[in-house]
Amino acid sequence: MSIFWDKLSEKHKKMLQNGIEGFRNTVATRYFTDGKHDSEGYIQRIARYVANIDMGDSLFGNPISTEIGGHKVTQDLVNSMFEIEAMGIDFTKIKSICEVGAGYGRTAYVLLKRYPHLKYTIIDIPPALDLAREHLTKEFPNADISFLRAPDKSLGADLYIAISVLTELSKEELADYFKMFGTGKYLYLKDWKTKKNPDNGTEFSEDSFPVKNWKTMFKRDDPITDNFYDAMYEINPMNPIIPHTNPIEYIQQKFGLGGDENPRILKGVNRQELYKLFAELGYTKGCEVGVEKGKNAKMMFENIPGLKLYGVDPYKQHPDYNGAPEASKWNAEYLHHVKHRAKKELRGLNWELIQDFSEGASRKIPDHSLDFVYIDGDHSYDSAMLDIILWSRKIRKGGVVSGHDYFYDKNKLGRQAKVTQVVQDYSKIHDIKFFITDENHYVQKGDYYPSWLWVKVENISPNIVGF
């Protein structure tokens, strides 16, 4: 979490030590409320910028209000309506919104009041996150609202909203959030025209944000708040980089590989970097065989813009399973739990679960229709071989067949099944040159096991009875 946010959180907690009564005149002035000018007359003046005041404020936190058109109207309500009108999109076609730095939920209140179908995610820090939860769950008890504590992310929202928050971040944190924004359709941004972050010295201006490749729907000076501007962007997924028509040549040149050794190690590449490579090759349609808790699938979405991903997992034991010893824990209760975890992890993303064993699931995906497959299912020899045979047929020419758990250090082969032997046998019989990732560059603690991959250059259709 940003240093600025850490300090802000502690300061606001102290301000609320005696309760939240009247916080709209104290803590809320640090979110966006203009405490210096807040009065009935000021609210009446700025209300002229709003075309349609169709509701009153919830009055959560006892704000100053005035009556307009029979509604109790506040400064925050006017600002929210003003911003939403500016966005200029058809909210009936928007399914999901993620707001970063939502404060107590002033914007969410107006949007959920008008469009109760919305799935709304708020990312913030305490105590703002706690205030938003208390406010919005009381006002909208049946709404689909999620509350995430920064720096958690929510990928694939139709609309991202960031109001007076991005200039509080470091450059690294800012890049991380724009990576998240890049998975969505629209971004509404409102912030200082110029500002210097007092904690890290970062200076911001209107040109500080990486939006030049996105379509600017509008950009203007804010007529209500001095030294602020707002803008709306239509997000273009990252253009795939395909320097060569031959992906094998691209990979070899990118990593400086040559010679006839097989396999070839992609030095410094872990699973995260592997998925970035998939994005560079323009891959946007894939399948993961073996989903479990969904962590690896989420990593794919974080690194492959515009991804459509199928997930294959039966979430029950195969009657003939003879894989990892630790599989004894995979009883029905545990598998139900991990399926719930996966669905929660991947909620709102372009992910489709095929809950079936590999053989049955493969029948539901057309041959030659996928850009890539990542296999991490049953690790017994027969099942791993069958997975490669079945799922290779689903990959188009120029796509990638890949998977987890290849050990080029033979001392580590004992624990993890027969995947290495399967990959070696299949690649040898079909004369395939393949690559493996670097086991010294794992993504997270415990993930020491390299991945294997090859580019499909021809269609191999072995005679398998029943397929």
pLDDT in tens, 340-363: 999 998 988 899 999 999 999 999
| Nearest in space to 161 (alpha carbons), one of 97, 109, 208, 228 | 97
Whole-angstrom CA distances from 204 to 9, 125, 228 are: 22, 22, 12
**Sign of the Cα pseudo-torsion (349, 354, 359, 363, in order):** negative
**Which has more confidence, 6 or 100?**
100
**Which has more confidence, 402 or 151?**
402
Q: Give the whole-angstrom CA distance, residue 440 versus residue 451.
A: 12
The string of pLDDT tens digits covering residues 247-264 is 888 888 788 887 778 899
**Which has more confidence, 179 or 310?**
310
Amino acid type, 351: W
Q: Residue 243: its pLDDT value, please? A: 40
Q: Give the whole-angstrom CA distance, residue 401 versus residue 433.
A: 12
Enumerate domains of the chain plus CATH numbers.
3-234 (3.40.50.150), 247-455 (3.40.50.150)
Q: Give the whole-angstrom CA distance, residue 231 versus residue 189.
A: 5
- Which DSSP symbol is given to 65? -
Q: Residue 48: its pLDDT value, please? A: 95
Q: Give the whole-angstrom CA distance, residue 254 versus residue 249.
A: 8
The string of pLDDT tens digits covering residues 280-307 is 888 889 999 999 999 999 999 988 888 8
Q: Residue 326: its pLDDT value, please? A: 52
**Which has more confidence, 16 or 295?**
295
Q: Give the whole-angstrom CA distance, residue 311 versus residue 351.
A: 7
DSSP letter string, 308-349: EEEEE--SS--TT----GGGGG--HHHHHHHHHHHHHHTTTS
Weakest-pLDDT range from 158-162, 247-251, 318-322: 318-322
Contact 167, 195 (CB under 8 A): yes
Tokens of 237: 């997924």
Grade residue 463 by pLDDT with cuts at 50, 70 and 90.
very low
Contact 264, 313 (CB under 8 A): no
Q: Residue 409: its pLDDT value, please? A: 53
Mean pLDDT within 187-206:
85
| Orientation angle between helical segments 295-303 and 332-345, nearest 10 degrees | 20
Does position 176 have pLDDT exceeding 70, yes or no?
yes
Does position 233 have pLDDT exceeding 70, yes or no?
yes
**Which has more confidence, 171 or 344?**
344
User: Residue 115: how many CB atoms within 10 A of its CB?
Assistant: 15
Grade residue 7 by pLDDT with cuts at 50, 70 and 90.
low
Q: Residue 25: its pLDDT value, please? A: 58
For 124, counting Cβ atoms within 10 Å of its Cβ (0-12 exposed, 13-18 middle, 19+ buried), the class is: buried
The string of pLDDT tens digits covering residues 371-394 is 999 999 888 889 999 999 999 999
Mean pLDDT within 87-104:
94
The string of pLDDT tens digits covering residues 443-458 is 554 456 889 999 998 7
Q: Give the whole-angstrom CA distance, residue 226 versus residue 48.
A: 17
Q: Residue 407: its pLDDT value, please? A: 74
How high is the mean pLDDT of the chain? 83
- Which DSSP symbol is given to 233? E
Weakest-pLDDT range from 199-203, 229-233, 280-284: 199-203
Q: Residue 172: its pLDDT value, please? A: 78
Query: Measured in Å, how far apart are the chain's first and last C-alpha atoms?
Result: 51
